[in-house]
Amino acid sequence: MPEFIATAIAHPNIAFIKYWGNLDDRLRLPQNSSLSMNLAGLETRTTVQFDPGLERDSLTINAQPASGDALQRASVFLDHLRQLAGKPLYARIESISNFPSGAGIASSAAAYAALALAGSRALGLELSERQVTILARRGSGSAARSIPGGYVEWHAATRDEDCFAESIAPPEHWELTDCIAVIQTEHKPVGSTQGHALATSSPLQAARVADAPRRLEVCRSALLNRDFAALAEIVELDSNLMHAVMMTSQPSLFYWAPQSLAIMKAVASWRRENIQACYSLDAGPNVHVICTAGYARQVRERLEAMPGVLSVLSAPPGGPARIV
């Protein structure tokens, strides 16, 4: 009998140009294209085993059995995979991450990238990298960006098959470091999936989306030219725009905490001292401080000295998701 089992590892990613709001929530077709860096050192390792003897799917996250929404979401994703492969088998999923989940460190990105890669391999599907990004996207939008390596662009499109992610530069293109100031590790009260559904209720979302192609272009060329000043300006603008949409949606979503704002202001002032660093926040209070490698140690020490910072994780650019 064939062995329907595989293990994959994927990194989370930090978006420089953010994904917020879908054209189609079920298919996770985003309203705008986005651009990110994979985070080396932080990873999710997932083993998927499809087994004719199982009567339902099961999921463990960091060795704890998951139920409710987390299991339901994974099962819906597996249904899509089973349909693609034509194999109606239930699966056992075991997922382990080495970083806190639910606090704006894109845990769903790494989780669904690893699940898409391991799951498709376990069922014997022969998919191209592009096809795996499309599959991962169905589980979590940002997971599409954790499949290719290094710096990755995810293209918005109105058709499922056109909405994929691809690498625009390998990790070694530019040694940026993401120093993540962790100020909370608990699960956020409103997850990204619910947040995306509220985006359009903000009167600012249409303006954010309309200007997104311009920001993406500025960000892409800053990255390809290794122009930190230009990168810093566009990364902070894009993060602020997304949070402006979040804060003005109905109901309003405030993902940042007072300590987040203190760090944002400090980082902007460090830049006036010629330290190459800028901030970006996802759907959580932790602050991602992106800096050039030469400043990483100094940035880390300064962040560790700030009130409310529990720890600082540092991540250089990471490679693609891979089968192990």
Least Å distance, CB 288 to ligand DP6, is 10
- Output 197 or 324, the one with its CB closest to ligand DP6: 197
Nearest to 224 by CA among 296, 150, 155: 150
β-pair type (91-97, 58-61) = parallel
**Conformation bin of residue 106: beta by default, left when phi > 0, alpha when psi is -120 to 50:** left
Looking at the Cβ atoms of 29 and 275, the one nearer to ligand DP6 is 29
Pick 49 or 148: Cβ nearer ligand DP6: 148
Two tokens, residue 54? 């199982």
**Rounded distance, CA 150 to CA 206, Å?**
30
CB of 192 to ligand DP6, least distance (A): 3
**Please, what is the minimum distance in Å from the beta carbon of residue 155 to ligand DP6?**
13
Q: Which residue ranges make up the site for ligand DP6 (CB under 6 A)?
A: 15, 18-20, 28, 34, 106, 108-109, 140-142, 192-193, 196, 282-283
Nearer to ligand DP6, 40 or 253 (CB): 253
CA distance 251 to 202: 9
- Select 18 or 271, whichever has its Cβ closest to ligand DP6: 18
Q: Would you say 120 or 140 has its CB closer to ligand DP6?
A: 140
CA atoms of 280 and 287, how far apart (whole Å): 6
Half-sphere exposure of 249 (CA within 13 A, CB side): 22
In contact, 13 and 106? CB cutoff 8 Å? yes
In this structure, what token pair is assigned to residue 120? 């498709």
Shortest approach of ligand DP6 to residue 281 CB, angstroms? 8
User: Strand 165-169 vs strand 91-97: parallel, antiparallel, or unpaired?
Assistant: unpaired
Among residues 82 and 188, whose Cβ is nearest to ligand DP6? Answer: 188
What is the closest distance, in whole angstroms, from the C-beta atom of residue 60 to ligand DP6 in the complex? 20
Q: Where are the alpha helices (DSSP H) in the chain?
A: 68-85, 107-122, 129-139, 192-198, 205-210, 212-224, 228-247, 258-272, 296-304
How far apart are alpha carbons 272 and 157 in whole angstroms?
Answer: 39
CB of 55 to ligand DP6, least distance (A): 28
Q: How far is the CB of 273 from ligand DP6 (least distance, A)?
A: 29
Q: At closest approach, how far in Å is the CB of 140 from ligand DP6?
A: 3
Q: How far is CA 1 from CA 51, 88, 96, 314, in A?
A: 11, 16, 28, 44
Nearer to ligand DP6, 108 or 184 (CB): 108
